[in-house]
Chain A
């Protein structure tokens, strides 16, 4: 007898009004693009179109950079830091006031559960603006200088659309730079809502410019001669192209790229919390997380105890309507990403690993992929080496701490890692040997604006967040 089943608890989408069509945001106004190409943004949970946005062409990007240059020279960089801080504080407060609306919009456009946009994305977005607003009048105390670089070209991914915007825009503005930002092709809507917030906050025209578009627009933005600084978050492959394009120019560059994070569970770990950490490490945001703990390295002596617990926990995950407040796993962001996840999962099976998924039903329409755990994975398998960027966990075992560290570091990436042990000395021993920009101790996927974030090796260079995050925007 089912005596207590959760009823549907959908967040209302009435709070959001999405326009049928959006122009580019240049020089403080929404202006029609000269390019006549358009992009349709769809809701990945039901494949229904949400809105149509412009695909900015070269001439549009030129206009955006001209506006950003003007604003940098005439308004923003001469403005006292305390005044810049006021604008940022105002933006942060408006984001908090409109948090519910923005959370719903983000869930619609991205497919991630409302639980996450409401409790993780939006609070962090506001915190980032508050944090860097506080730095704006204290640059002289950073030891990094007080001179902004100029115009920053920023290209952000689709996995945390508004949060990645905040990571890029907040430090740039606090340091006195102006920006031309290109949101991801599949998730432009919250960036356009942010443009409205800039207007609402009375931000001087040209300080923030938002040009929507796909890869061509992105290339035009990062290779624009007026860009003094390029900041990119996305795939390692595109990161390489950008590094080549920027090489030999005066432009400063920060890259935050892919990862294949290891989550190391020692045999003395707090098992129930480690299971939680494994689940949030790989299934948070459908695994569309560059720092996801996509490789579970579990000590062989507890693997047999841990894995059934992990499977039992995964059985409880609720997959479905991203706007339902009880949904744990939302939709895959796009058909292209779903195809990539499917391809790699198929490669896992073909190479001899064993896949397992809970028997949860999938909605008929939209892009969906069940949480999946592969056991019997070896270091040589593609699913242990390539970033899947989806809800797919590869389980490997180890026998000694040395082996754990060697396997964890045996990847071209180096963005994140997690370590689970109740023994402090082993925690410190392990953490100090991991070549990863973030090492989480008995937790995973926890973020704070005061904490720098970035990668080793092919996960990129430069740091975002914290005091170090300002370094990328000060010369």
Chain B
């Protein structure tokens, strides 16, 4: 249920403290120099694997491809049963029933993009029925996109109301709200959109669709982590953050975990509150995990391409 905001939404969002671009980039760059080695690296890699939303969002997706990816989500490294499952599989709405069958009983979540992903340039009716269909087909998580056009035009109420309406359609399913920060451009916009989505009822705020450059960046994620931290302090409700797009290496993933730890705090170091939207990242995590265990890199051919 959305929070009640006293006065105008615009006055509220523009009353949030500004974000200094140079300062936030400097802070993110500073945290990126944290040195994560030995036991810390081992913990970080397993945590990162458990936080992955393994994603395929291509026009060329087929049931076969989705089944293969679902198998990988459940058991990322067939050669090593100690590797944990990922958090969820993330697919287009028409692939949900296939994915749901493949994931039944595994505990791996099933996320579907919805609401006219990725541009969201369609009517509210279509967005709502898109969401309803996805939930009915078995999606436990819905990744919606906000109307960036309305946001940039200053029509915050439209963005807010849409999120509220989609949230209602979600029922029990968790709602992740994609801000598409690459189109919002400024950190001030990212902060305002984050608070707007949180007040409208988002369970997660997510950086990007992966279809727009730039996708997730460390400074943008930092601003969003500050938002969920401060939102919890203000309202008592905890929400999650999901950077998506462009996170390819273990080093990248660990930098995000450092951000989570030092900006939002240890409470967010859990797949329930932080996800990494990625596809190729998982194999690098597996490769680095094996390297830590054996001291040797095995070639990329030892990890499945799905």
A residues lining the B interface (CB < 8 Å): 2-9, 115, 119, 268-273, 276-277, 316, 325-326, 422, 442-443
Chain A residues in 8 Å Cβ range of B20 = 270, 273, 422, 442
| Bound-state Cα–Cα, A8 to B262, Å | 17
| Bound-state Cα–Cα, A325 to B18, Å | 31
Pair A9/B36 contact, Cβ less than 8 Å:
yes
Chain B residues in 8 Å Cβ range of A3 = 43, 47, 266, 269-270
Interface string of B217-233 (1 = CB under 8 A from A): 00000000010000000
Interface string of B250-277 (1 = CB under 8 A from A): 0000000100011000100110000000
Q: Which of B1-43 contact A (CB under 8 A)?
A: 17-20, 22-24, 26-27, 33-41, 43
Chain B residues in 8 Å Cβ range of A326 = 34-35
Pair B37/A276 contact, Cβ less than 8 Å:
no
How many whole Å from B237's CB to the nearest CB in chain A? 19
New contact pairs (10) apart from A442-B20, A443-B22, A443-B23, CB-CB < 8 Å: A2-B266, A6-B35, A7-B36, A9-B35, A9-B36, A115-B33, A119-B33, A272-B27, A276-B26, A276-B27
**B111 near A: Cβ within 8 Å?**
no
Pair A9/B37 contact, Cβ less than 8 Å:
yes
Pair B26/A4 contact, Cβ less than 8 Å:
no
Pair B18/A268 contact, Cβ less than 8 Å:
yes
Across the two chains, which residue of chain A brings its CB closest to B19? Answer: A270
Pair B261/A4 contact, Cβ less than 8 Å:
yes
Pair A5/B43 contact, Cβ less than 8 Å:
yes
Across the two chains, which residue of chain B brings its CB closest to A309? Answer: B230
Pair A422/B261 contact, Cβ less than 8 Å:
no
How many whole Å from B188's CB to the nearest CB in chain A? 9
How many whole Å from A248's CB to the nearest CB in chain B? 47
**B44 near A: Cβ within 8 Å?**
yes
Chain A residues in 8 Å Cβ range of B226 = 272
| Bound-state Cα–Cα, A6 to B35, Å | 8
| Bound-state Cα–Cα, A271 to B17, Å | 6
Contact among A9, A115, A270 with B18 in the assembled complex (CB-CB below 8 Å) = A270
**Given the contacts A4-B43, A268-B18, A326-B34, A273 and B23 also touching, CB distance less than 8 Å:** yes
| Bound-state Cα–Cα, A197 to B181, Å | 48
How many whole Å from A103's CB to the nearest CB in chain B? 13
Number of A-B contacts defined by CB within 8 Å: 72
| Bound-state Cα–Cα, A242 to B41, Å | 53
Chain A residues in 8 Å Cβ range of B33 = 115, 119, 325
Q: Which 3 A-B pairs have the closest CB atoms?
A: A273-B23, A9-B35, A325-B35
How many whole Å from B227's CB to the nearest CB in chain A? 10
B residues lining the A interface (CB < 8 Å): 17-20, 22-24, 26-27, 33-41, 43-44, 47, 226, 257, 261-262, 266, 269-270
| Bound-state Cα–Cα, A443 to B43, Å | 35
Chain B residues in 8 Å Cβ range of A4 = 40, 43-44, 47, 257, 261, 266, 269
Chain B residues in 8 Å Cβ range of A316 = 262
| Bound-state Cα–Cα, A443 to B23, Å | 7
23 residue pairs from A and B, CB less than 8 Å apart: A3-B266, A4-B44, A4-B257, A5-B43, A7-B36, A7-B38, A7-B39, A7-B41, A9-B35, A9-B37, A269-B17, A270-B17, A270-B20, A272-B19, A272-B24, A272-B27, A273-B19, A273-B23, A316-B262, A325-B33, A325-B35, A422-B18, A443-B26
| Bound-state Cα–Cα, A390 to B222, Å | 30
Chain B contact residues, majority secondary structure:
helix
Pair B40/A276 contact, Cβ less than 8 Å:
no
Chain A residues in 8 Å Cβ range of B26 = 276, 443
How many whole Å from B229's CB to the nearest CB in chain A? 9
Chain A residues in 8 Å Cβ range of B40 = 4-7
Across the two chains, which residue of chain B brings its CB closest to A277? Answer: B23
How many whole Å from B291's CB to the nearest CB in chain A? 16
Pair B36/A6 contact, Cβ less than 8 Å:
yes
Chain A residues in 8 Å Cβ range of B35 = 6, 9, 325-326
Across the two chains, which residue of chain B brings its CB closest to A279? Answer: B27
| Bound-state Cα–Cα, A119 to B20, Å | 22
Contact among A5, A6, A119, A442 with B22 in the assembled complex (CB-CB below 8 Å) = A442
| Bound-state Cα–Cα, A277 to B41, Å | 30
| Bound-state Cα–Cα, A4 to B47, Å | 8
Across the two chains, which residue of chain B brings its CB closest to A302? Answer: B17
Contact among A115, A119, A273 with B27 in the assembled complex (CB-CB below 8 Å) = A273
How many whole Å from B174's CB to the nearest CB in chain A? 21
Chain B residues in 8 Å Cβ range of A8 = 37
Pair A272/B37 contact, Cβ less than 8 Å:
no
How many whole Å from A5's CB to the nearest CB in chain B? 6
Across the two chains, which residue of chain B brings its CB closest to A2? Answer: B266
Chain B residues in 8 Å Cβ range of A422 = 18, 20
How many whole Å from B274's CB to the nearest CB in chain A? 11
Across the two chains, which residue of chain B brings its CB closest to A115? Answer: B33
Chain A residues in 8 Å Cβ range of B36 = 6-7, 9
How many whole Å from A316's CB to the nearest CB in chain B? 6
Chain B residues in 8 Å Cβ range of A9 = 35-37
| Bound-state Cα–Cα, A325 to B258, Å | 14
**Given the contacts A273-B27, A276-B26, A316-B262, A7 and B19 also touching, CB distance less than 8 Å:** no
Across the two chains, which residue of chain A brings its CB closest to B37? Answer: A9
| Bound-state Cα–Cα, A276 to B20, Å | 11
Chain A residues in 8 Å Cβ range of B27 = 272-273, 276
| Bound-state Cα–Cα, A7 to B38, Å | 7
Pair A6/B18 contact, Cβ less than 8 Å:
no
| Bound-state Cα–Cα, A442 to B26, Å | 12
Chain A residues in 8 Å Cβ range of B262 = 316
How many whole Å from B266's CB to the nearest CB in chain A? 8
Q: Which of B40, B47, B257 has its CB near the most chain A CB atoms (within 10 A)?
A: B40
How many whole Å from A220's CB to the nearest CB in chain B? 42
Across the two chains, which residue of chain B brings its CB closest to A423? Answer: B18
Across the two chains, which residue of chain B brings its CB closest to A9? Answer: B35
| Bound-state Cα–Cα, A175 to B280, Å | 55
Pair A7/B37 contact, Cβ less than 8 Å:
yes
| Bound-state Cα–Cα, A325 to B37, Å | 10
Chain B residues in 8 Å Cβ range of A2 = 266
Chain B residues in 8 Å Cβ range of A273 = 19-20, 22-24, 27
| Bound-state Cα–Cα, A325 to B40, Å | 14
Pair B17/A272 contact, Cβ less than 8 Å:
yes
| Bound-state Cα–Cα, A198 to B222, Å | 44
Chain A residues in 8 Å Cβ range of B23 = 270, 272-273, 276-277, 442-443
Chain A residues in 8 Å Cβ range of B37 = 7-9
Chain A residues in 8 Å Cβ range of B19 = 270, 272-273
Chain A residues in 8 Å Cβ range of B38 = 7
Across the two chains, which residue of chain B brings its CB closest to A324? Answer: B35
Chain A residues in 8 Å Cβ range of B41 = 7
Across the two chains, which residue of chain B brings its CB closest to A442? Answer: B20
Q: Which of B18, B24, B26, B38 has its CB near the most chain A CB atoms (within 10 A)?
A: B18
| Bound-state Cα–Cα, A270 to B186, Å | 14
Chain B residues in 8 Å Cβ range of A269 = 17-18
How many whole Å from A431's CB to the nearest CB in chain B? 16
How many whole Å from B87's CB to the nearest CB in chain A? 15
